Chains A and B, each alone.
Chain A
Amino acid sequence: MGRMLPYAVAVLAAFAAAGIFIALMGFNVLAAYRTILFTSFRTPNGFIQTLLKFVPLVLQALAFTIPLKAGKFNIGGEGQMIIGATGAAAIGILLFDLPLIVLLPLVLIMGVLCGAVWAFIAAWLLYRFNINEILSTVLLNFVSFQVLDYVATEIWRDPFAGHPTTTPLGAGGQLPLLVTSPPLHSGLLIAILIAIVVYIYTDYTSAGYELVATGANPKAARVYGINTRVLFSLSLILGGAVAGLAGAIEVAGVHHRLIEGLQSNFLLLGIIIGLVSKGNHAVVPFVAFFIAVLEVGASAMQRTMSIPVEMVFIVEALILIFVLLTDVVRRQ
């Protein structure tokens, strides 16, 4: 528990620092923080909103942390999520009439595959040409925006919608609800399952160990027989698969169609979650939940107190900075 102390201090320091800004802007700091932190737990709706946010956040975090274990930086979670969502929506629309037990798995698997393929582009460029994955994954994000735009405006356009959206998926492609009102989709179970599987993979399997060793010291890993070159690329593909799944779940569970902007700010928050967790897969889900709480609180704060949501983003960023600083302080 002594190990938790620096992180707790970092979080408190972040809140304190942001609190100064909020006070300077003339708002009631305590009321603001009460809203941010407790909205999730005051009403069933608040809690369910938190869980709905948790799903893409934890998956985006994992999409970042899996390659991070191998020492690679996947900044393309956004594009992978969008392409995954596109593929999922495509299947859901094309096979509109298929029943749930056939269509839903297809939709989700398509999301995983498309996300993996999108990441594969960057992975292959890394493997073959040693092109830095930070560049390639980010640039592919921009390409993905165009792809979604094209699909939502040219191919399956919903003529009644105000901005690029497709027509809905077939009923068989929609995730069943755990709770009907307010709606909580079963993607939550999938996300939790994936988080557990990833944790077991990296921490308890030989294959996961190779990933960890590759990230810890690729040269030494190679000397002792690990195929680091393949693992670098493989880690990116796995990250893309998880991000693609996130996209498929948003489509199948939340929007029931492909909609521009579904990626929200999940990429950035996912990276923050991954970095704050230091890549520790036992911790990622908890940090993701905490960030989900803050996000829900942020919207509430903007609605009820007119404090801009960006304040919460500042808090989240400060948490990241302070957590990273604890590392520096500890080394002294």
Chain B
Amino acid sequence: MSNENILEMRGIRKTFGPVIALDNVDLELKKGEIRGLLGGNGAGKTTLMNILYGLYKSDSGQILVEGKPYDIHSPNDAIKGGIGMVHQQFLQINDFTVAENIVLGTKLINRPTLRLEAEKQTIRELSQSFGLPVEPEATIANLPMGIRQRVEILKALYRGVKILVLDEPTTNLTPQEVDALFESLRAMVNEGLSVIFITHKLREVMEVCDTITVLRNGRNVLTLTREDASEEAFVKGMVGEDLDVEKSIIFTPGSTETDLPVGQKPVLQIQGITVREAEIPMLKSCSLTVHEGEILGVAGVAGNGQLELAESILGLRPFVTGQIIINGANLTNLNTGQLIQRGVAYIPEDRWVDGFLPNANVAQNLILGLHRQPPYSNGRFLNWRVIFERTQNLIEEFNIRTQGPDEIAGNLSGGNIQRVMLARAFSQSVRLLIAHNPTRGLDIPSMEFIYGELLKRKSQGMATLLISENMDELFLLSNRIVVICNGEVMGVLEPDRFDKYLLGRMMSGVRQGE
């Protein structure tokens, strides 16, 4: 790592209407450095990098590349300036090969015939030097996430970037793939690349980054090198006064009662559920049990049957074979409305699509699913007075930041929308909660809040099926963890075997006994 700055961002300010996303942020990147950009959701990390990559225009501020001011109006400008970005959502065409995806949009030697021999050779060379082994002929659709990410990185390297920005690159990777990525990053830096690594995961950033900058509420709060750093300093930086770190569930897990004894009585028993979608089995003979007062975590890489599992339990997806037994009663053929009436609550993964009514107000959102039951309704007529009262109480209880029960729900921030979903789920007495990625995209205080609620209800006897792609979350909250891969249960782990590498292997398809 040299001492000159290859990139400088000075005084970057960005507002979206009344919201100040970035408040005079400075950032420097030295040549050959791996810089971590750390912060909770909503801190401004992605916004800052989107400005760097030309997707947003800053209100004021300057960007200097290799000491010279450089105006970036579009990703093309960014790439010409040597800046490349790898987003969380890969921009790849499934039916094309690795090579075709990488060269898409660039100048081709053999354009009319699309013979890519020369290009493939370049790709192989890059792949060698940067430690990113890929097979140029392979079709994207058949590749696992880890390799698809390499393709995404190679897209940037192919275009000759000197600065690579990675936005939350480890989201969809197994622990083994994460290790491989970090190896590649070190190889890239040795070849002269400089890297900015955006993440909210503290431990990762301490593992691989040379220097770490913490953003909070749009401000650059802290920059420390790895030697000078401590986890504590970063945590304080990330949450400031928003969280009492001593009492926090996330940062000091030993401080709260997470291991309460689990009840013996099974609340949810799934036996042999098979779900098919157009002949393809999405869930294969899946069986599991959740007891009273238990949080059963479901781990797995996204898209391996988790959604089908949640939806089949809730009567939203038909299953070919299998039974669902709730509290001893065989409720296999019940529809969603009936299940909700029996104390089953659901927090869907995609809150915008599946979970809430953006154009309706907060009160109308809170009664969704409960609109035919007392106290909200006598079966026929809604009692708006009661509804508004309860909504006001729930807003206070769940700390939902909103102007009131009649604010249009679509105006709320992600964290507050999720609090509405939680308030809705918990506004009745819940026997069984199915929560799918409940803290995705949320800031740390909101995550903390949700964990607190889940644990509180658990101590009151609620059974929870926690489907999550966040391994830390699963380790923190679960009594047992079941791993799904390709729609099959790979095994169930007790706490003494909670190990991320073991989980990673199972998530990749290696079966484990009990």
Chain A interface residues (CB < 8 Å from chain B): 204-207, 209-210, 212-213, 216-217, 219-227
B104 within 8 A of A: no
Q: Which residues of A contact B359 (CB under 8 A)?
A: 216
- Quick check: B316 and A222 within 8 Å, CB to CB? yes
- Quick check: A223 and B348 within 8 Å, CB to CB? yes
B278 within 8 A of A: no
Residue of B nearest to A209 (CB): B371
State A224–B369 Cα separation when bound (angstroms): 5
Question: Which residues of B, 321-364, contact A by the 8 Å Cβ criterion?
Answer: 335-340, 346, 348, 353-360, 364
Q: Which residues of A contact B337 (CB under 8 A)?
A: 224-227
Contacts known (A217-B358, A224-B340); A209 close to B382, Cβ less than 8 A: yes
Residue of B nearest to A217 (CB): B357
Give the distance to chain A from B347, nearest Cβ to Cβ, in Å.
10
Q: Which residues of B contact A212 (CB under 8 A)?
A: 360, 364
Give the distance to chain B from A70, nearest Cβ to Cβ, in Å.
13
State A224–B372 Cα separation when bound (angstroms): 12
* Residue in contact with B380 in the complex, picked from A205, A216, A217, A223, CB distance below 8 Å: A205
- Quick check: A221 and B368 within 8 Å, CB to CB? yes
Give the distance to chain A from B8, nearest Cβ to Cβ, in Å.
33
Residue of A nearest to B310 (CB): A223
State A205–B369 Cα separation when bound (angstroms): 14
Residue of A nearest to B378 (CB): A206
State A207–B372 Cα separation when bound (angstroms): 8
B455 within 8 A of A: no
State A220–B358 Cα separation when bound (angstroms): 10
State A168–B451 Cα separation when bound (angstroms): 74
The 10 residue pairs across chains A and B that have the minimum distance between CB atoms: A225-B337, A224-B369, A216-B357, A225-B336, A206-B377, A206-B372, A224-B368, A209-B371, A217-B357, A216-B360
Q: Which residues of A contact B355 (CB under 8 A)?
A: 220, 223
**What are 28 A-B contacts defined by CB distance under 8 Å?**
A204-B381, A205-B382, A206-B372, A206-B377, A206-B380, A206-B382, A209-B367, A209-B371, A213-B360, A213-B371, A216-B358, A216-B364, A217-B353, A217-B358, A220-B355, A220-B357, A221-B357, A222-B316, A223-B314, A223-B346, A223-B355, A224-B336, A224-B346, A224-B368, A224-B369, A225-B336, A225-B338, A226-B337
How many A-B pairs have beta carbons closer than 8 Å: the answer is: 69
19 extra interface residue pairs, beta carbon distance < 8 Å, beyond A205-B380, A219-B354 = A205-B382, A206-B371, A206-B377, A212-B360, A213-B357, A213-B364, A216-B364, A217-B356, A217-B358, A220-B353, A220-B368, A223-B314, A223-B316, A224-B336, A224-B340, A224-B346, A225-B335, A225-B340, A226-B337
Residue of A nearest to B409 (CB): A216
- Quick check: B381 and A205 within 8 Å, CB to CB? yes
Contacts known (A220-B355, A223-B346, A223-B348); A209 close to B336, Cβ less than 8 A: no
Give the distance to chain B from A215, nearest Cβ to Cβ, in Å.
9
State A29–B384 Cα separation when bound (angstroms): 47
Residue of A nearest to B338 (CB): A225
Q: Which residues of A contact B513 (CB under 8 A)?
A: none
Residue of A nearest to B316 (CB): A223
Residue of A nearest to B315 (CB): A225
Q: Which residues of B contact A225 (CB under 8 A)?
A: 335-340, 369
B379 within 8 A of A: yes
Main secondary structure of the interface of A (DSSP, over half): helix
State A203–B463 Cα separation when bound (angstroms): 35
Instruction: Return the CB mask of B194-223 against A: 1 if under 8 Å, else 0.
Output: 000000000000000000000000000000
* Residue in contact with A220 in the complex, picked from B335, B338, B356, B379, CB distance below 8 Å: B356
Give the distance to chain A from B38, nearest Cβ to Cβ, in Å.
34
Q: Which residues of B contact A217 (CB under 8 A)?
A: 353, 356-358
Give the distance to chain B from A33, nearest Cβ to Cβ, in Å.
35
* Residue in contact with B371 in the complex, picked from A210, A223, A227, CB distance below 8 Å: A210
State A224–B315 Cα separation when bound (angstroms): 10
For the side of the interface on B, what is the size category? 20 to 34
Give the distance to chain A from B378, nearest Cβ to Cβ, in Å.
9
Give the distance to chain B from A332, nearest Cβ to Cβ, in Å.
9
- Quick check: A223 and B354 within 8 Å, CB to CB? yes
Q: Which residues of A contact B356 (CB under 8 A)?
A: 217, 220
State A204–B364 Cα separation when bound (angstroms): 11
Residue of B nearest to A223 (CB): B354
State A204–B379 Cα separation when bound (angstroms): 11
- Quick check: B384 and A204 within 8 Å, CB to CB? yes
State A170–B253 Cα separation when bound (angstroms): 84
State A206–B380 Cα separation when bound (angstroms): 6
State A111–B354 Cα separation when bound (angstroms): 39
Q: Which residues of A contact B382 (CB under 8 A)?
A: 204-206, 209
Give the distance to chain A from B341, nearest Cβ to Cβ, in Å.
8
State A204–B339 Cα separation when bound (angstroms): 24
Task: Specify which of A206, A216, A225, A227 lies most central, judged by the most chain B CB atoms within 10 Å of its CB.
Answer: A225
- Quick check: B364 and A209 within 8 Å, CB to CB? yes
Give the distance to chain A from B408, nearest Cβ to Cβ, in Å.
11
Give the distance to chain B from A208, nearest Cβ to Cβ, in Å.
8
Give the distance to chain A from B342, nearest Cβ to Cβ, in Å.
11
Residue of B nearest to A208 (CB): B382
Q: Which residues of A contact B354 (CB under 8 A)?
A: 219-220, 223
Q: Which residues of B contact A221 (CB under 8 A)?
A: 357, 368
State A224–B341 Cα separation when bound (angstroms): 11
State A207–B337 Cα separation when bound (angstroms): 13
Residue of A nearest to B379 (CB): A206
Residue of A nearest to B336 (CB): A225
Q: Which residues of B contact A213 (CB under 8 A)?
A: 357, 360, 364, 368, 371
Give the distance to chain A from B437, nearest Cβ to Cβ, in Å.
15
Give the distance to chain A from B18, nearest Cβ to Cβ, in Å.
13
Question: Which residues of B, 363-422, contact A by the 8 Å Cβ criterion?
Answer: 364, 367-369, 371-372, 377, 379-382, 384
Residue of A nearest to B360 (CB): A216
State A206–B369 Cα separation when bound (angstroms): 10
Q: Which residues of B contact A207 (CB under 8 A)?
A: 380
State A222–B316 Cα separation when bound (angstroms): 8
Instruction: Return the CB mask of B118-130 against A: 1 if under 8 Å, else 0.
Output: 0000000000000
Give the distance to chain A from B26, nearest Cβ to Cβ, in Å.
31
Q: Which residues of A contact B357 (CB under 8 A)?
A: 213, 216-217, 220-221
Q: Which residues of B contact A220 (CB under 8 A)?
A: 353-357, 368
Give the distance to chain A from B344, nearest Cβ to Cβ, in Å.
10
Instruction: Return the CB mask of B163-202 against A: 1 if under 8 Å, else 0.
Output: 0000000000000000000000000000000000000000
Task: Specify which of A207, A210, A216 lies most central, judged by the most chain B CB atoms within 10 Å of its CB.
Answer: A216
Question: Which residues of B, 289-333, contact A by the 8 Å Cβ criterion?
Answer: 314, 316
Q: Which residues of A contact B369 (CB under 8 A)?
A: 224-225
Give the distance to chain A from B220, nearest Cβ to Cβ, in Å.
30
Q: Which residues of A contact B381 (CB under 8 A)?
A: 204-206
State A221–B380 Cα separation when bound (angstroms): 18
State A217–B359 Cα separation when bound (angstroms): 9
Q: Which residues of B contact A206 (CB under 8 A)?
A: 371-372, 377, 379-382
State A227–B335 Cα separation when bound (angstroms): 10
Task: Specify which of B335, B371, B384 lies most central, judged by the most chain A CB atoms within 10 Å of its CB.
Answer: B371
State A219–B369 Cα separation when bound (angstroms): 13
Task: Specify which of A207, A212, A220 lies most central, judged by the most chain B CB atoms within 10 Å of its CB.
Answer: A220
Residue of A nearest to B356 (CB): A220
State A209–B360 Cα separation when bound (angstroms): 11
State A224–B384 Cα separation when bound (angstroms): 20
State A222–B315 Cα separation when bound (angstroms): 10
Residue of B nearest to A216 (CB): B357
Q: Which residues of A contact B377 (CB under 8 A)?
A: 206
State A216–B338 Cα separation when bound (angstroms): 22
Q: Which residues of B contact A219 (CB under 8 A)?
A: 353-354
State A23–B215 Cα separation when bound (angstroms): 61
